[in-house]
Amino acid sequence: MNPYQEEQIVTATEETVGKRVDVVLSAALSISRSAVQHLLDTGAVTKAGETVAKSLRVEAEDSFIVRLPPVRECEVQPENIPLDIVYEDNDIVIVNKPQGMVVHPAPGHTDGTLVSALLYHTGDSLSDINGIIRPGIVHRIDRDTSGLIAVAKNNAAHLSLAAQLEDHSMYRSYSAILRGKIPEGGTIDAPIGRHRTDRKKMAVLQAGGRRAVTHYEPVRPLTGHTLCKMRLETGRTHQIRVHMAYIGHPVLGDPVYGGGQAPFEKKHPALFHGQCLHAGELSFVHPTTGRKVTFRCDPPANFTRIAELLEQE
């Protein structure tokens, strides 16, 4: 039996040349560095047909084939992981997810997820529409993005929230620190689909992409950067990160879409745990009461500190 679920191809970019291969693959595949190191140790990563050592430094034009193991549903176990619960009732849980936490199990990352924490917190009180790998999960945010996620505790709540996502009536806004100066707001209406050569990335695709709309508004200028408020009209994978990179203003700290290794990031590496992107506001009609509810949470301390230092430079 093939012990691997799929193969992913990761190619070197200008920003990844010279970095350790485990660091590069961790960012490209959105799995933990320890999981990547295990794949390297077991020969699941090859370059030009040869296995790759953990200490390898990426060179220009390198291309790596990574064989990822499958996620088995029986592996999802409750874990006693602290959660920042913003709100909870019999129908929904609103969680402020920290940077670095994966929402649900995926190849190479089966523990330490939000789902595992929710299973411990709620027991069996989660919707099962998405199966036992993703119980209660109606929408997601990226591993290295922080902020609000709505979780359904029963199927009726799940269907209501999913319908509001589908018809774009659920309001979701983000704070982002973007590279470059953005003097005025605007709307990006550009279709997004899977990248043609790097299957772990998304890209603007005029042919074959799905409609994606992002609204952005500058909040205040920072030295060489701009603090912006972003509003999602649609919810494609990596949408804000892809769209802002597309117009030449990638999210600071995002190594996948051109926002990593900025001079400021190199100067203050301890402050960066991922891209400077925070889901700070969530609004929808409550599944049971029919009333509009709104939830807000502040960005994490490192995000706030980065903005403060950029104002002082």
| Residue 131 CA, distance from chain mean position | 21
Angstrom distance (rounded) from CA 212 to CA 279? 17
| Residue 196 CA, distance from chain mean position | 20
76: left (phi over 0), alpha (psi -120 to 50) or beta: beta
Active site residue 142: yes
Which letter does DSSP use for residue 56 in this model?
P
Residue 10: which of 18, 2, 24 has the closest Cα?
Answer: 24
Locate 114 and state its tokens. Answer: 């939000």
Asked if residue 146 lies in contact with residue 103, where contact means CB atoms within 8 angstroms, the answer is no
Angstrom distance (rounded) from CA 32 to CA 66? 14
- List the beta strands (DSSP E) in 42-160: 45-47, 50-51, 63-68, 85-88, 92-97, 146-152
Asked if residue 228 lies in contact with residue 218, where contact means CB atoms within 8 angstroms, the answer is yes
φ, ψ at 289 (rounded to 5°):
-80, -25
Instruction: Say which of 142, 189, 198, 254 is annotated catalytic.
Output: 142
Asked if residue 306 lies in contact with residue 267, where contact means CB atoms within 8 angstroms, the answer is no
Residue 65: which of 31, 25, 19, 16 has the closest Cα?
Answer: 25
Angstrom distance (rounded) from CA 101 to CA 73? 19
Locate 152 and state its tokens. Answer: 């359904």
Locate 297 and state its tokens. Answer: 């949470």
Which parts of the chain fold into alpha helices (H)?
21-29, 33-41, 114-122, 155-166, 239-246, 263-267, 301-312
Q: What are the residue numbers of the active site? A: 142
